[in-house]
A and B are shown apart, each in its own frame.
Chain A
Amino acid sequence: MDYHNKLSTQIRDLPRSGIRDFFELVIGRSDVISLGVGEPDKSTPWPIREAVIRSLEKGQTSYTSNLGLEPLRVLISEYVEKLFHVTYDPKTEILVTVGVSEALDIAFRAVLNPGDEVIYHEPCYVSYNPSIKMAYGVPVAVETREENNFALMAADVEKAITPKTKIIALNFPTNPTGGIMPPEELEKIAALAVKHDLFVFTDEIYCELLYDGRTHKSIVEYPGMRERTVLLHGFSKAFAMTGWRLGYACAPAPLREAMMKVHQYCMLCAPIMSQIAGIEALKMGPSAYEEMRQSYEQRRNIIVARLNGMGLHCFNPGGAFYVFPEIRSTGLTSKEFALGLLEKKSVAVVPGSAFGAAGEGFVRCCYATAPELIVKAMDLMEEFVNEVRK
């Protein structure tokens, strides 16, 4: 059968994820120190796991409401209010999803008509561009630059706005750079969204993981933003719950309802076990992640000092658990650097180009890894850099 011509052109023409290419090179090798992961190095806190074991013993294995368990939505509402100072009605404005990935997908599908443009920032998490295309939208990448600590500049956003622009998609702190948004730029972007009557989708998945005493501010907090914002958040990063695939979307009722239509037909509901884990996680609140957050901050200090010490310029990221050192001084492309480092020193990092063209010249290193492994990986990377420069 001629599969190539029978597949949806929309899907066939999507490029493979650069991460997946790299994953296939690394998988099966047991000798590798990996700084290539995108998740915490700890398992989910025990009280959360224990609550799910107990629920399974009680036989809680059924479907839930399409919207998600009501107690979970109530806790989400309270948690979101504490974090972002914005109130959402658990009955009409919150939807529990299978990770932020699903929430993002159904939000795009709920809002986009073919040809509508979505402004997003690059380098970014690998799903943004394809998710927009899969919803028949047109992705418009705006580059974030190291000179601005990978923050998104409102002036750059303004230049990208056209009559077809419908959404600005944000994700700060950002994967893969660790960049955060200065409030003054966020305020200007909010003003642009209001002026041009745009939606803003803000993926807040790393918002708890901020360092140097910073507090988070979301774009939804600015005047005129609540009505046009879809706030996306989940449990994966702060609560170390990546495998549970649990997220949520908060949005004004008509938007939530449109997303709900897609969700009820394609997903039905998030797994009940994960929702029960989410309830326990939110009952624990910051006590579940504060120690992890502190240890990430300490590891960030180690890795940033070591990278700069070996002559790879690396800005000090304010959040998430990634550093994004520039590797141009080695004369290698980001892919050559990552492949060389893997082959010669058995250390895995992800080429910056996997996160969009703007990531070329950089590699992503995840520091959610044991400090002694970070030190060892940095020793090996320093050897590699010195050998390349000879």
Chain B
Amino acid sequence: MDPLIQLLAINSNRSTAELAGILSLTEDEARRRIAVAEADGTILGYNAVVDRAKAGQSGVTALVEVKITPEREGGFDRLARRIAKFDQVRECFLMSGGYDLAILVEGKDLLDVANFIAVKLSTIGGVLSTATHFQLKAYKQAGFLVNSAADEERLPVSP
């Protein structure tokens, strides 16, 4: 992977100047490479990883296992893309194992998620079944520990 993209994947909040300094590039070169990666879809977007409980956001998240029927042309792709387009679907992956798609669904409450699954998702032609697991508590998100104590302080001066 381009080291510039690697750095952004770890922390997208760095300035172009900082990234350029780390990799000994000019700022213009760093800016150009980021623009190329954004334009060709290598970089899909930028998010802050938020502890939602702390941010005071109510709402529920569910992991939904979905079984679907593959199609003669394109396999799972057309249906998976169609499901992924719903705003309620935060993540959507084709999986190996006992079901086909794992999707992460967000809603403002249980009823909202239930409605989405019953009315929108289950009724799509080709969706065979769903199994819904509601998220109870977050311990790690996108590589960050949630609510963890900071590592012990180092001595300020040591040999």
Chain A residues near B (Cβ < 8 Å)? 17, 19, 22-23, 26-27, 29, 32, 34, 36-39, 41-43, 125-127, 175, 242, 298-299, 301-302, 305-306, 348, 350, 371, 375
Contact = CB atoms under 8 A, between A and B. Distances in A.
Interface string B93-133: 00000000000000000000000000000000000000000
B158 A39 contact: yes
A308 to B, nearest CB: 12
The 5 closest A-B pairs by CB, nearest first: A36-B157, A298-B22, A23-B157, A34-B156, A26-B156
A17 B23 contact: no
A126 B22 contact: no
Given A41-B154, A375-B18, A301 B23 contact: yes
Contacts of A302: 18, 21-22
A193 B7 CA distance: 45
B21 to A, nearest CB: 5
Contacts of B158: 19, 23, 36-39, 242
Interface of B: 7, 14, 18, 21-24, 151-152, 154-159
A43 B145 CA distance: 14
Contacts of B156: 23, 26-27, 29, 32, 34, 36-37, 348
Contacts of B159: 17, 19, 38, 125-127, 175
Given A42-B151, A298-B7, A22 B157 contact: yes
A118 to B, nearest CB: 19
14 contacts: A17-B159, A23-B157, A27-B155, A27-B156, A27-B157, A36-B156, A43-B151, A127-B159, A298-B22, A298-B23, A301-B23, A305-B21, A305-B24, A348-B157
Given A23-B158, A43-B152, 15 more contacts: A23-B155, A23-B157, A29-B156, A32-B156, A37-B156, A37-B157, A37-B158, A38-B158, A38-B159, A39-B158, A175-B159, A301-B22, A302-B18, A371-B22, A375-B18
A38 B18 CA distance: 24
Contacts of B21: 301-302, 305-306
A292 to B, nearest CB: 13
Nearest to A366: B158
Nearest to B152: A43
Contacts of B157: 19, 22-23, 26-27, 34, 36-37, 348, 350
A125 B7 CA distance: 33
A22 B156 CA distance: 10
